[in-house]
């Protein structure tokens, strides 16, 4: 498929929703796809988004597909990762690949900026973006977007670049890193580098072959996301009220609107370039508690009964007709705009999303439980999610 700006708009709107609280900054995503279109136009070519099946037909002799992602805190005010850093990221990556041919790039997840991370390097190298991201929604841990490679127990390659914002919003301290090792050790080093860089880095990682991609990715997630974004755009243009928009999103994803109310009891902590915390949505009938670890992770009613647990989708839609990530919510709390708003909470069973291999091992959930202080695994183990 030739990817157009209309596709990009739909994908952006849908990605903010399916980021389910995480997935990065909307403007960063827009900057990324606009940079990709400029690169393609300068080179006289177009941007392609193709399926895994089309990739296999195009490259019968194989090649590698590389994940491009952002790692760190989307709420960080000091990060600096302009699209101009991508050529250096590609240099680091190709040195590590030692001659292996890159035949496509994929997103690490669906999210407002992370969906679009592969478009810039794809436009530089003239290869397609593959509709087979590591996850069909956003997730907080690098392991969760590693296509199950940690179970392969083979070394992987990861490269990252990023900076710390200097005076007048320009480049300050610059950081780059190129590592090879286990998925766990590389992910930890990349995470630490994001903290040193200013809170966020761009990463090229985990090259895989077509067979591994086809068996372990969230194939078709772009298609689902663009259709959601298309409907959202139609509702925005038609002036559809926010609560009706929330109902339509839940209908499209076979979910439900759990509650609508005011935001209360908000708290957020940023540690090692990740945000975590909780808040309540309160109305006359009671309150619901939402925790977040970049993404919205758990949803409980006022009696403590669990309503949704990551990787179930939890979405927050404001009365201003915007879908709110946790970072956007943090800014709305800080500037006071959240005080006069109501928010609808939509939950979607993970079976109605594109949930790949990387989200089906217990180890990542134990990390999330420790950080949030909430049980997750007991609410998931009877639902046929886990592979271990």
pLDDT of residue 262: 98
pLDDT of residue 164: 86
State yes or no: pLDDT of 225 exceeds 70. yes
CA distance 382 to 23: 27
Q: Between vectors from CA 116 to CA 114 and to CA 121, what angle results, nearest 5°?
A: 110
Write out pLDDT tens, residues 108-150: 999 999 999 999 999 999 999 999 999 999 999 888 999 999 8
Dihedral angle over CA of 230, 12, 298, 290, nearest 10: -90
Closest to 249 measured CA to CA, from 321, 340, 300: 321
In angstroms, what CA-CA distances link 6 with 33, 220, 230? Answer: 11, 18, 9
- Across all residues in the chain, what is the average pLDDT? 94
* 348: region left, alpha or beta (phi > 0 left; psi from -120 to 50 alpha): beta
Domain 241-380: homologous superfamily in CATH: CV3147-like (2.40.390.10)
pLDDT of residue 170: 67
Q: What letters, b where the CB count within 10 A reaches 16 and e where it falls short, cover 185-223?
A: ebbbebbebbbebbbbbbbbbbbbebebbbebbbbebbb
- Do residues 292 and 299 touch, judged by C-beta distance below 8 A? no
Listed range (130-134, 153-157, 288-292, 313-317) with the worst mean pLDDT: 153-157
Give the three-state DSSP class for 141.
coil
State yes or no: pLDDT of 1 exceeds 80. yes
State yes or no: pLDDT of 75 exceeds 60. no
Helix axes 221-238, 242-252, angle to 10 degrees: 160
CA distance 213 to 217: 5
Q: What's the pLDDT band for 82 if we cut at 50, 70, 90?
A: confident
Residue 386 token pair: 């886990």
Give the three-state DSSP class for 290.
strand
- Do residues 343 and 258 touch, judged by C-beta distance below 8 A? no
In angstroms, what CA-CA distances link 348 with 19, 249, 309, 352, 377? Answer: 12, 10, 10, 7, 18
Q: Where along the chain do its domains lie? A: 241-380
Q: List helix spans (H) across 43-111.
A: 52-58, 86-97
User: Please, what is the end-to-end C-alpha distance for the chain in angstroms?
Assistant: 37
Write out pLDDT tens, residues 287-301: 999 999 999 999 999
Strand segments, DSSP code E, in the chain are 49-50, 64-72, 79-80, 102-107, 129-130, 156-165, 171-181, 200-208, 256-271, 274-283, 286-293, 295-301, 306-309, 313-318, 343-348
State yes or no: pLDDT of 168 exceeds 80. no
């Amino acid at each position: 498929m030739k990817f157009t700006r209309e596709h990009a708009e739909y994908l952006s709107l849908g990605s903010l929703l399916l980021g389910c609280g995480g997935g990065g900054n909307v403007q960063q995503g827009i900057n990324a796809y606009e940079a990709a279109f400029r690169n393609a136009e300068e080179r006289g070519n177009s941007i392609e988004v193709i399926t895994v099946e089309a990739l296999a037909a195009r490259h019968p002799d194989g090649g590698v597909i590389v994940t491009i992602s952002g790692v760190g805190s989307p709420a960080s005010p000091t990060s600096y990762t302009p699209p101009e850093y991508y050529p250096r990221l590609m240099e680091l990556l190709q040195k590590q690949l030692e001659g292996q041919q890159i035949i496509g790039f994929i997103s690490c997840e669906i999210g407002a900026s992370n969906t679009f991370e592969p478009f810039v390097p794809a436009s530089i190298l003239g290869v397609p973006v593959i509709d087979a991201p590591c996850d069909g929604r956003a997730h907080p841990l690098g392991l969760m977007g590693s296509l199950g490679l940690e179970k392969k127990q083979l070394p992987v390659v990861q490269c990252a670049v990023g900076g710390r914002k200097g005076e007048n919003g320009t480049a300050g301290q610059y950081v780059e890193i190129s590592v090879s090792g286990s998925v766990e050790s590389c992910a930890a080093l990349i995470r630490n580098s994001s903290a040193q860089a200013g809170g966020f880095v761009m990463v090229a990682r985990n090259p895989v072959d077509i067979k591994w991609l086809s068996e372990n990715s969230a194939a078709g997630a772009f298609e689902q996301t663009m259709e959601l974004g298309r409907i959202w755009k139609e509702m925005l243009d038609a002036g559809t009220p926010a609560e009706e928009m929330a109902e339509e999103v839940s209908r499209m994803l076979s979910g439900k609107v759990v509650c609508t109310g005011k935001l209360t009891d908000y708290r957020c902590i940023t540690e090692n370039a990740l945000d975590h915390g909780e808040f309540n949505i309160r109305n006359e009938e009671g309150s619901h508690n939402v925790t977040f670890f970049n993404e919205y992770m758990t949803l409980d009613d006022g009696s403590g009964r669990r309503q949704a647990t990551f990787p179930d989708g939890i979405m927050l839609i404001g009365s201003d007709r915007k879908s709110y990530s946790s970072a956007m919510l943090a800014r709305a709390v800080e500037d006071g705009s959240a005080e006069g708003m109501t928010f609808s909470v939509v939950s979607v069973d993970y079976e109605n999303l594109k949930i790949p291999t990387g989200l089906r091992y217990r180890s990542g959930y134990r990390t999330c439980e420790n950080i949030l202080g909430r049980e997750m695994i007991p609410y998931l183990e009877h639902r046929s999610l886990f592979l271990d």
